Amino acid sequence: MQSKSLLIAIAAFAVTTTGVHAYGGSKVLTRAGVNKEQVQAFEDAKELRDSGNFKGARDRLLEAGIDEETLKNVNKARRTVEQAIHEAVESRDYEAFKLAIADSPLADIITSESDFEQFVEAHELKRNGNWEEAETAFSELGIDKPENGLGKRFHRHGLLSELSDEQREAFRVARQSNDRETMRAILDEAGIENHKLNR
């Protein structure tokens, strides 16, 4: 029997593999020790998710033997790439940034040093609380924000700080795909009451 948190994590991960694809796709999966069958399962799950078959996406991951340990390894590899991107942005190091985003969808968006400078400026705007200006700058680059807009509210109220690392990651992924049912399940599992996910 699968643990509730594993099923929540797999469901959230099946709902969107955007995090992995945005931060290196199969490169991240390979770094995480995912075998070829499991890489294919992630790709299949993404297609199923994109067609609206969330249950099928989750089931495909389970069939491939993707378990809690696999998800932890994938998330660790994704965070490593994400950290390399962050460090390159903070130090304004375009060469390091190109290495960090190689083989990722971001490499198709940030194709010049000028794009990189705009990307850095957008991150600075965001860090300084200028959300609308940052959103405009990201949009000009072709980077859209998640549709649900819950990120600022949940970070501001500190709800995410009450979650374990695995719950926080599953919640982040579910939030990106606006999967409110999974978000509620994660908050319920963590014992966080009076959470409002509707605007």
Across 3-12, 77-86, 115-124, 139-148, the highest mean pLDDT is recorded for 115-124
* 141-174 pLDDT, tens digit each: 888 654 434 344 344 335 566 777 777 777 777 7
**In sequence order, what DSSP letters do the residues of 33-63 get, joined into one string?**
T--HHHHHHHHHHHHHHHTT-HHHHHHHHHH
Residue 14 has pLDDT above 60, yes or no: no
* 50-107 pLDDT, tens digit each: 787 877 888 888 899 887 788 778 878 888 888 999 999 999 999 999 998 887 778 8
Residue 43 has pLDDT above 90, yes or no: no
